[in-house]
Amino acid sequence: MGGTFDPIHHGHLVAASEVAKSFDLDEVVFVPTGQPWQKIHVSESEHRYLMTVIATASNPQFTVSRVDVDRKGATYTVDTLRDLRAQMPDAELFFISGADAVEQIIGWKDVEKLWDLAHFIAVSRPGHDLSLSGLSSDHVSLLEIPALAISSTDCRERVSRGYPVWYLVPDGVVQYIAKHGLYSEEATNNE
Ligand code: ATP
C-alpha cells in the first residue's frame, strides 16, 4: 500500500486490514513515498516513515518498506513495484489504493507496465465513487470497506488550528506529531 502518510490515519489502516482479509494476503507492506510527484508540501520522509512504523507496529501482518524513501528523485509507483518485486521475487503483488487514487492511475508513469507488476485493489472512500474508471477488471479489483471520512489533509489542518486528532490517527502518531511539532501553525507558515 503506497501513500504519502502525512500523517498515516485510521482510514489507511482499516483499508489495509480489510483488503488483507478479503484477499487472504500474507502481509501488507506500507510504502511511504519519497517525494510524491503530485504533491508539493510534504513532511520530511523520515517523519512520515517513522509515523508509519509506529502506526503499524501492533499488527504482525503489517510491515513498512523504505524503498521509496531511500530512492532519490520523485516517487513513481512503477519504480516502487519493481523494487518490491526484486526484493520478493516469488510473491504475488497487489497494490492497494483508495477510490480517489484509482481515478488517476491512467495518468501514472508507465501505466501499461504497472499491470504486469501487480494486481490493483481499489477500496471505497467517502466522497468518491468506487468504479473502474475505464480500467479493466483484469487489472483492478474493487472492494467496499467501512467508510471512514478521514484524510491526511484534514488531520494536518486540525493540528494547525489546534484541534485534536486523537482517534483519527493512532495514539502513538498523535504523540509523535506533538513531540516533533509537525503541522503546527508555525511549521505551516514556514513552508
Ligand atoms: P492527503 O489528504 O494528504 O491527500 P490521504 O488522506 O489521501 O492524503 P494518502 O497517504 O495520500 O492519504 O493515501 C494513501 C492511499 O490511501 C491512497 O490510495 C488513498 O486513496 C487511500 N486512502 C486514504 N484515506 C483513505 C480513507 N479514509 N478511506 C479509504 N482509502 C483511503
Q: Domain residues for 134?
A: 2-148
pLDDT at 105: 85
Contact 174, 165 (CB under 8 A): yes
Kindly state whether residue 87 falls inside one of the protein's structural domains.
Answer: yes
6, 75, 114, 125: residue to mutate for ligand 1 pocket, most atoms within 8 A of CB: 125
Kindly state whether residue 118 falls inside one of the protein's structural domains.
Answer: yes
CB distance 6 to ligand 1 below 6 Å: yes
Kindly state whether residue 169 falls inside one of the protein's structural domains.
Answer: no
For residue 6, count other CB atoms closer than 10 A to its CB: 25
Q: What is the CATH number of the domain that holds 31?
A: 3.40.50.620
Q: Which atom of ligand 1 is nearest to the CA of 8?
A: 10
pLDDT at 80: 96
For residue 94, count other CB atoms closer than 10 A to its CB: 17
The count of domains in the chain is: 1
For residue 106, count other CB atoms closer than 10 A to its CB: 10
pTM: 0.94
Kindly state whether residue 112 falls inside one of the protein's structural domains.
Answer: yes
CB distance 5 to ligand 1 below 6 Å: yes
Q: pLDDT digit of tens for each residue in the chain (191 aa)?
A: 999 999 999 999 999 999 999 999 999 999 999 987 777 778 899 999 999 999 999 999 999 999 999 999 889 999 999 999 999 999 999 999 999 988 888 888 888 899 999 999 999 999 999 999 889 999 999 999 999 999 999 999 999 999 999 999 999 999 999 999 999 976 554 44
Kindly state whether residue 139 falls inside one of the protein's structural domains.
Answer: yes
Kindly state whether residue 162 falls inside one of the protein's structural domains.
Answer: no
Kindly state whether residue 51 falls inside one of the protein's structural domains.
Answer: yes
Kindly state whether residue 58 falls inside one of the protein's structural domains.
Answer: yes
CA of 186 to the centre of ligand 1 (A): 25
CB distance 11 to ligand 1 below 6 Å: yes
